[in-house]
A = this chain, B = another copy of it.
């Protein structure tokens, strides 16, 4: 399975909206997010699901990716809000993966030769959460790790890509294969 963490695009400044959760993307934020989405499309990346933080700037980012036909489905998850936590998401993931495995094809359905594609899940969220999640995916929780240090620089509309183990917790057992800010991703 492949997991993609995507940070929301550039949003209007803090303070212009009374409620932080309602800050929308700026025009530049939209354009850049569209450009990133088109690049993902050109790279033939297609998600089985985009899960997004409920905050407007994240939801708009996810909607742009969804509208570019990058994903079959899109849903909102409180786990991706700024106060969300990765353990709750891991529990959700376990359920989602079991549900993906269980549907059986109808008995008489023609058997198409099926190209085996890894399941691809995208999460749209915030910093510093995404960088912290990245750390926990690779290392798990380690009492030795200084929690305040920012080890991954995740720019707005930036992307991280992980390979997750087929079974068991992804925490401490995942591998990073991609990290890119829009600047190094766009043509």
Q: Determine if A177 is an interface residue (Cβ-Cβ < 8 Å).
A: yes
How many copies the complex holds: the figure is 2
Q: What is the interface residue range for chain A against chain B?
A: 20 to 34
A152 to B183, CA, bound (A): 21
Query: Which among A46-54, A96-104, A115-123, A136-144 touches the partner chain?
Result: A136-144
Q: Are the C-beta atoms of B187 and A187 separated by less than 8 Å?
A: yes
Q: Return A149 CB to nearest CB of chain B, in Å.
A: 8
A47 → chain B, closest Cβ, in Å?
Answer: 15
16 pairs of residues in contact across A and B, judged by CB atoms under 8 Å: A43-B183, A43-B184, A139-B139, A149-B173, A150-B175, A151-B176, A153-B163, A153-B175, A155-B177, A161-B184, A176-B179, A178-B180, A179-B180, A180-B180, A180-B184, A187-B187
